[in-house]
Amino acid sequence: MAVKKEPEILLKASKINKSFGNFNANKDIDISIAKGEIHALLGENGAGKSTLVKIFYGVLKPDTGTIEINNNEVSISSPNSARKNGIGMVFQHFSLFPALTVAENILIALDTKVKFRDLISEISKLSNEWELFVDPLKRVSELSVGEQQRVEIIRCLMQNPKLLIMDEPTSVLTPQEITNLFKILKRLAHSGCSILYISHKLEEIIELADQVTILKSGKSIATINAKKTTTKILAETMVGKEITSLKKVNIKSASKDIALELKNLNKQKETNFGISLKNINLNVNYGEILGVAGIAGNGQVELMEILSGETIANNENEILLETLPIGYKNITERRQLGIEIIPEERTLHATVPNLTMNENTFLTYFSKYYNTNNIISNFLNNPQNSIIESQKIIKDNDVRCPEANPLANQLSGGNLQKFILGRSLANNPKVAIFSQPTWGVDIGAATSIRQKLLNLSQNGKAVILISQDLEEIFELSDQICVINNGILSKIMPVDKITAADVGLLMGGKLETDIELETIK
Amino acid sequence: MITFSPRDKVSKNWIIIGPALSIFLTVFFGLLIFAFLGYDPLETLYQIFISPFSRIDRVSDIFVKACPLIIIGIGLMLCFRANVWNIGAEGQFIMGTLLAGSFALLFPNVETKLLIFIMIFIGFLGGALWAFIPAILKTKLNVNEILVSLMLVYVAMLFIDFIVRGPLRDPMSFGFPLSKPYPEGALVNKISFPGIGFLGQLHYGILFIILLIPFSWIFMNKTLSGFKINVLGAAPKAARFAGFNQNAVTISVLIISGGLAGVAGVIEVSANIGQLQPEVSFGYGFTAIIVAFLGRLNPLGILFAGIIIATVKLGADNAQMSMGIPKVVTGLFEGILLFFLLTGETLQKYKIRWSKVRK
């Protein structure tokens, strides 16, 4: 039997501890990354992944613990010193200036002085070598998200890194772009650059990684050979229990009655960095879930605002509730008509963090306490009025509160989402519109939220689900459409379209370019 | 680099120890500075902190001095809670005074006190109009309200100067830039207490504060309008989600705070000056910004903050008069006091972290 060569260790971290106040984000984490290895870091939201990589990149300082690179102990005090130690990082949220060109963005991040002309040829060389195609003289605001990510990667490669950290790189990409990225990452690893890859998507990790370290509540609970495991094992190790599956009842109460309809809706963008909505046609029936897929920043925010009434349509007839034109109605009036909105941002949009639950209930309930004849009681309409309702929402939805009427910022993300959902659903809406309802909540809470969406449609309500999570879209929706650069694709039944087709639509292909099985 | 991070919870003890420590440090540095400059330090401190309380008429003067500060401060509270930065209360004070005063001068012989009530209304209008300019520019054209409201202060100052030197100058003023005296009906009288008579300069304007403080508390805490202001200041997107009209709130708070500054001007001038002159305000509109923040943007706090600031201002005047201490020195002392009070309050809520400077 041949003796297997022990892989050379590039980075070894021991007993890393980091706490914020009373919260231990990282507890005694050990991890070692071999040279040329793709090492995945897996964990639920809040498991401590980001904290750990921020420590490696010098953004945060560990409370205790040591980091060794090539067997020498190092202290990484800033991103600058991380780069000097050969560590580069691509953040989940890009740090590019939209108004500058690609080359300018790379120039300002360089630690050494370079002539601009040399820089451009250097960028072209790197981008050809690694198939990271991007025009160095284009403005970042004109690039797609996938291209922006390439710029970030090139920026790291300029420093000849030994370790490249990628924080949830695929959350903003189409399936085709993901395939491309994986090719590049594998080539990079093959050439000797180690990659620390953060994700909560299991299939990706199995496909890409060599080793996977699983974090749970700040501790590293296992390091597994990714080539010899399954998604089920990974998921159960990550969550720590068996995962219950959704109960999808096949007998649907879907009717042919249209609940909400958008007709040739156009809306100019309000700022340079917004997206204009172009000729949008959409309809959703009672008893049906319509999934709107798309990469972030393609008009979902604008679509949500025009559906909610936070922005008003240009023409009253562009939005119909059944047959009633509601384009000019504001969000309060639409709420009264039975349209409920669950926005993507839980704090600062759906709730105010430093107000109590009672006050946050009043936020969307205040119009209920109007009495057209009593001017004084309308003037004195205050959060006191919503105490009973807020306590009922908390009780009925099992919102775990540290005290009877806590501030919204005292609740965990999952509990706050339960409250927000409960607050909307207590109004018994006809139409419920969700944006990224399970973003950032743990798998248990996500399952219960998805179940609630299914229950809504089974009870004959119309549901619109705007999500970047394709798995979620396919799992829940009856009809699917895709938004790209402010243009909405045709609506197609879920069993007539594949994830690959949706991916192409997300990437900007037109329906006519794709051979769909059927087009109505 | 210095970074401030919020404390997990504010210690109960520090709520008392904090301000006490601030006062102690102020006194300590005050003593040092006065001693260093050759003034009797204890005597100076006595003049600044104790002498305003030494006689009942002096105590009532504290309230007279605090009156405009509190009225303006309450108005600014509405703006600052809504994250609208009205820095121009001084200009709104002047314009309110000027409009109401010009109106009063149209009726040289009116004795009925109905006139002063009409003037208060017109003063509100004048201040509100002046604040409406930044309001409309902010909501329609997205122009920064800090710059507009501040610059309009200087426009107002020059405008009143022009008016009292020109159109409204009293021919009998021997060339001084003064208007004719207000008619009797335009004056706010001093309060005459039965058996005691007048208490210093204490005037009926104080009644306005007694009404304003509870009313503004109810407005902020028990009405939908107050709730809208709080939500808009804390989370503008959540205000939109609730369906609150952001522009309407912005315009309203600017109009109300401008109006209150105008009312403060009418009361101040009708009680203490009795005619228009180039300088009707002595920085009340700017000092009230400090009062609003020192009072933690709540009505009772603003009442106390107004009294503290007025006390120190009067004490500083006393020290100037009785000991000949220059105004800059007492001004320095006021600065030290504010520095420690505001620092103390910030450190109660935040902790400081020093981190290495990044290249």
Q: Which residues of B touch A377 (CB under 8 A)?
A: none
Across the interface, do B241 and A354 touch by the CB < 8 Å criterion? no
d(Cα A16, Cα B287) in Å, to the nearest integer? 51
Q: In chain A, whose CA is at the least distance from the CA of B235? A: A348
Please report the DSSP string for B229-285 in residue order. Answer: HHHHHH-HHHHHHHT--HHHHHHHHHHHHHHHHHHHHHHHHHHHT-B--S---SSHH
Q: What is the DSSP letter of B112?
A: -
Contact A107, A114 (CB under 8 A): yes
Q: In chain B, whose CA is at the least distance from the CA of A59? A: B358
Q: Which residues of A touch B234 (CB under 8 A)?
A: 352-355
Task: CATH 3.40.50.300 in chain A: give the residue spans.
Answer: 9-239, 250-338+431-520
- Looking at the complex, report in whole angstroms how far the Cα of residue A165 sits from the nearest Cα belonging to chain B: 21
Cα distances (angstroms) measured from residue A350 to each of A216, A357, A435, A462, B130: 28, 12, 11, 21, 35
Across the interface, do B223 and A381 touch by the CB < 8 Å criterion? yes
Residue A129 CB partners (closer than 8 Å, separation 6+): none
Interior/surface letters B227-251, b for 16+ CB within 10 angstroms, e for the rest: bbbbbbbbbbbbbbbbbbeeeebbb
> B50 and chain A: CB distance < 8 Å anywhere?
no
Contact B76, B118 (CB under 8 A): no
Q: What percentage of chain B carries pLDDT values higher than 90?
A: 64
Q: In chain B, whose CA is at the least distance from the CA of A60? A: B355
Domain boundaries, chain B: 40-324
Q: What is the pLDDT of residues A445-477, one digit of tens each?
A: 788 899 999 999 999 999 999 998 888 898 899
ipTM: 0.86
- pLDDT reported for residue B243: 94
- pLDDT reported for residue A254: 57
Question: Tokens at residue B30, please?
Answer: 């005050």
* B327, B330, B331, B334 alpha-carbon torsion, rounded to 10°: -160
A166: part of which helix (H) or strand (E)?
strand A163-167
- Helices B327-349 and B284-294 pack at an angle, to 10 degrees, of 30
Q: What is the pLDDT of residues A1-26, one digit of tens each?
A: 445 556 788 999 999 998 877 678 88
Contact B238, B231 (CB under 8 A): yes
pLDDT(A86) > 60: yes
> From the CA atom positions of chain B, what is the Rg in Å?
22
- Helices A145-157 and A116-129 pack at an angle, to 10 degrees, of 110
Looking only at the bridges linking them, the beta strands covering A163-167 and A194-199 are parallel
Q: Does the reported pTM lie above 0.90?
A: no
Q: What is the DSSP letter of A112?
A: S
Q: Which superfamily is assigned to A250-338+431-520 in CATH? A: P-loop containing nucleotide triphosphate hydrolases (3.40.50.300)
Q: Which residues of B touch A343 (CB under 8 A)?
A: 241
Contact A101, A136 (CB under 8 A): yes
> A358 and chain B: CB distance < 8 Å anywhere?
no
Mean pLDDT for A513-518 is 56
- More confident: B232 or A514: B232
Query: Cα A166 from chain centroid?
Result: 15
Comparing CB atoms, the residue among B221, B238, B358 nearest residue A348 is: B238
Closest to B47 in 3D by CA, of B309, B335, B310, B314: B314
Amino acid at A302: E
d(Cα B268, Cα B279) in Å, to the nearest integer? 12
Cα distances (angstroms) measured from residue B321 to each of A82, A313, B48: 63, 67, 11
Across the interface, do A80 and B240 touch by the CB < 8 Å criterion? no
d(Cα B95, Cα B105) in Å, to the nearest integer? 15
Beta strands in A208-338 (DSSP E): 211-216, 219-225, 258-267, 277-285, 288-293, 319-321, 324-325
Across the interface, do B227 and A382 touch by the CB < 8 Å criterion? yes
Q: Which residues of B touch A341 (CB under 8 A)?
A: 241
Q: What is the pLDDT of residues B198-225, one digit of tens each?
A: 888 899 999 999 999 999 999 999 999 9
Domain B40-324 has CATH 1.10.3470: yes
Counted residue by residue, chain B has a size of: 359
User: In this structure, which topology does domain A9-239 adopt according to CATH?
Assistant: Rossmann fold (3.40.50)
Q: What is the pLDDT of residues B150-203, one digit of tens each?
A: 999 999 999 999 999 988 898 888 888 999 999 999 999 999 888 888 888 899
Across the interface, do A335 and B243 touch by the CB < 8 Å criterion? yes
Question: Tokens at residue B244, please?
Answer: 């609150």
Q: Which residues of A touch B358 (CB under 8 A)?
A: 78-80
d(Cα B198, Cα B187) in Å, to the nearest integer? 16
Q: Which residues of B touch A367 (CB under 8 A)?
A: 243
